[in-house]
């Protein structure tokens, strides 16, 4: 056994990546405090060919040293935009035909492994590391999903959560 070198991985060049078909998923980051988490979500979104990231509220935006540290170039490949108000971002996505899926523990959440709302176009909303998704948009969600957890902690790091959910949604039926 040997590790593969970068040239053997067959990854597309940035221009080729930008032009290739993407998974019809938009990631919405609702006031993420840590720029390192934002960068990690960029890198994960690149890995799973996600359509776009929308940064909202206090979420840091590129160029940012901490984002660059964890994104490792993914801010150049993944399409992104900034919108101050999360409600405006969600409203625009709904008008474009996206189903709005919050990632939050609520009295209506569906466990990720039981989620069947695979739509043509999904906007995934990930909330602030302390406060979660803004209360102001809870009633705007079509679905709310959560990752089943069995330990003593009540949540996962937002970038870890994004990785698990994006992998699951881009590999339905596995």
Residue ranges and CATH numbers for the domains of the chain are 20-170 (3.40.1280.10)
**Sheet containing 143-146: order of strands:** 80-83, 50-56, 23-30, 122-126, 99-103, 143-146, 110-111
> Residue 120 — very low, low, confident or very high, per pLDDT cuts 50/70/90?
confident
pLDDT digits (tens, 9 = 90+) for 37-75: 999 999 999 999 999 999 999 999 999 999 999 999 999
pLDDT (0 to 100) of residue 118: 75
> Residue 24 — very low, low, confident or very high, per pLDDT cuts 50/70/90?
very high
pLDDT (0 to 100) of residue 38: 98
pLDDT of 172 strictly over 80: no
In the chain, % of residues over pLDDT 70: 99
Query: Mean per-residue pLDDT for 149-173?
Result: 93
Query: Average model confidence (pLDDT) for the chain?
Result: 95
pLDDT (0 to 100) of residue 43: 98
Q: What is the largest CA-CA distance in the chain?
A: 52
Total-model pTM = 0.95
Pick the closest to residue 90 from 45, 144, 50, 47 (CA basis).
144
pLDDT (0 to 100) of residue 111: 96
pLDDT of 174 strictly over 90: no
pLDDT of 122 strictly over 80: yes
Distance between CA atoms of residues 142 and 146, nearest Å: 14
pLDDT (0 to 100) of residue 27: 98
Query: Mean per-residue pLDDT for 112-131?
Result: 91
> Residue 23 — very low, low, confident or very high, per pLDDT cuts 50/70/90?
very high
pLDDT (0 to 100) of residue 104: 97
């Amino acid at each position: 056994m040997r590790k593969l070198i970068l040239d053997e991985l067959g990854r597309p060049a940035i221009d080729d990546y930008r032009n290739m078909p993407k998974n019809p998923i938009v990631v919405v980051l609702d006031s993420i405090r840590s720029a390192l988490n934002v960068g990690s979500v960029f890198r994960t979104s690149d890995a799973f060919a996600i359509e776009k990231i929308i940064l909202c509220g206090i979420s840091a935006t590129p160029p940012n040293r901490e984002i660059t540290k964890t994104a490792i170039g993914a801010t150049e490949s993944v399409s992104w935009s900034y919108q101050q108000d999360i409600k405006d971002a969600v409203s625009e996505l709904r008008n474009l035909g996206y189903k709005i899926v919050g990632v939050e523990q609520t009295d209506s959440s569906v466990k990720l492994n039981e989620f069947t709302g695979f739509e043509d176009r999904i906007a995934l909303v990930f909330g602030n590391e302390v406060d979660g998704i803004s209360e102001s948009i809870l009633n705007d969600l079509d679905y709310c999903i959560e990752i089943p957890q069995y330990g003593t902690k009540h949540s996962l790091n937002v970038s870890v959560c994004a990785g698990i959910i994006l992998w699951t949604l881009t590999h339905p039926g596995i």
